[in-house]
Amino acid sequence: MKIMHVEAGMSLYGGALQVKNLIEGLQRRGVANVLVCPHGAVIGQHIANAGIPVHEIGLSGDLDIGAIGRISRLIRQERPDIVHLHSRRGADLMGGLAARRCGVRAVHSRRNENPEPRWFARYKYGLFDRVVAISGAIRDVLLGYGLPPSKVVLVRSAYEPPAGLTVASRAELCERFSLPGDSFVIGVIAQLIERKGHRYLIQALPEVLARHPLVQVLFFGQGGEQERLERQIRDAGLQRSVHLVGFHADLMHWLGALDLVVHPALMEGLGVSLLQASSLGIPIIASRAGGIPEAVRDGLNGLLVPPADVAALTQALLRLIPDDALRRQFGDAGKKLVDEEFSFAKMVDGNLAVYQDLLTRAPR
């Protein structure tokens, strides 16, 4: 069996990290893989270092019609049994058209719940033999477009801490990010984009800080909302308590030293950062949106609040910050949840079962 994977992400987090882990897991199962990615994508170097063929091509978005020809040429060159399209940014539609053009089975992984026009969704998903939903919430979105249940397969994203991971101490964390040594440190791990909801946490903080002045908040990530968030922080007088610290490749080293992770997103496919936090025993407060309730079970490994509800978010923070025992309880349950339900082995098995099922059927 040979699988061609197409991933358009430039950075190695979120969906691209899931693709890397899937390819490496399939390789260990004896599956032949080849990766197609943009020039300079971080995933390309990692996969090449694992001895897996990589083709870097131009993938410049939803209007890059030329990508159909470039992907088609690679399909004819590599002769895969299945083309697995892992991202949007044009790789899904153009890759689906290329696979159809070459008469090769195609699988698409849907990783977010961003709405698409119904007519366009019906056309695009008609190009694929199977659609893999990375959460039950996304599966419901796809079924809502009218896709037949037999075509949509649920295979959740996965996470496991890397072997040999060293976790920073509280003193190291405070020194690295210039925080007072007695801080209560909250982390937000998300791109700085509107739908991640950072602004709602900023709105909740004045009341929280009035009762818990030792709270410090670190926003890990980068994105187009940075200037707007910086302005909101200044206007609220929170410069000493809220810090935009950018993207950190060694995030997991620092994540384990946090007291709490907050994820106030308005929509989310599943939230790998939530699995990362739980795997290290960090309790979570998050929105009840998209696939988040599958990663954060209310009252088990964290608290869920309605999206964009500043009052509810404030009350959840005021409940959890002073309760050391409850945070430890949530942290312990989170570790168990990730280990039992979100392992790499389950994710690899699920995708492999999709491939094997397709190969028993006559091609379209």
pLDDT at 121: 87
Q: Which of 194, 240, 243 is nearest to 217 (CA)?
A: 243
Residues of the chain with CATH 3.40.50.2000: 2-158+343-359, 170-341
Q: Which of 113-127, 211-225, 335-349 has the lowest average pLDDT?
A: 113-127
If you compute the radius of gyration of the chain from its CA atoms, what whole number of angstroms results? 21
Q: Is 166 left (phi over 0), alpha (psi -120 to 50) or beta?
A: beta
Helix (H) or strand (E) holding 84: strand 82-85
pLDDT (tens digit per residue) in 121-153: 888 999 999 999 999 999 999 999 999 999 999
Q: Which of 311, 281, 86, 47 is nearest to 302 (CA)?
A: 281
**Mean pLDDT over residues 279-300, rounded?**
96
Which CATH code, of 3.40.50.300, 3.30.70.20, 3.40.50.2000, 3.30.565.10, is assigned to 170-341? 3.40.50.2000
Q: How far apart are CA 41 and CA 8, in angstroms?
A: 8
Angle between helical axes of 272-279 and 324-341 (0-180°, round to 10): 110
Q: Report the b/e string of 134-158 with b at 16+ CB within 10 A.
A: bbebbbebbeebebeeeebbebbbb
| Domain 2-158+343-359 in CATH 3.40.190.10 | no
pLDDT at 239: 96
Higher local confidence (pLDDT), 159 or 175: 175
For residue 294, name the pLDDT band (cuts at 50, 70, 90): very high
**Mean pLDDT over residues 90-95, rounded?**
87
In the 8-state DSSP scheme, what is residue 132?
E
Residues 289/265, Cβ–Cβ less than 8 Å: yes
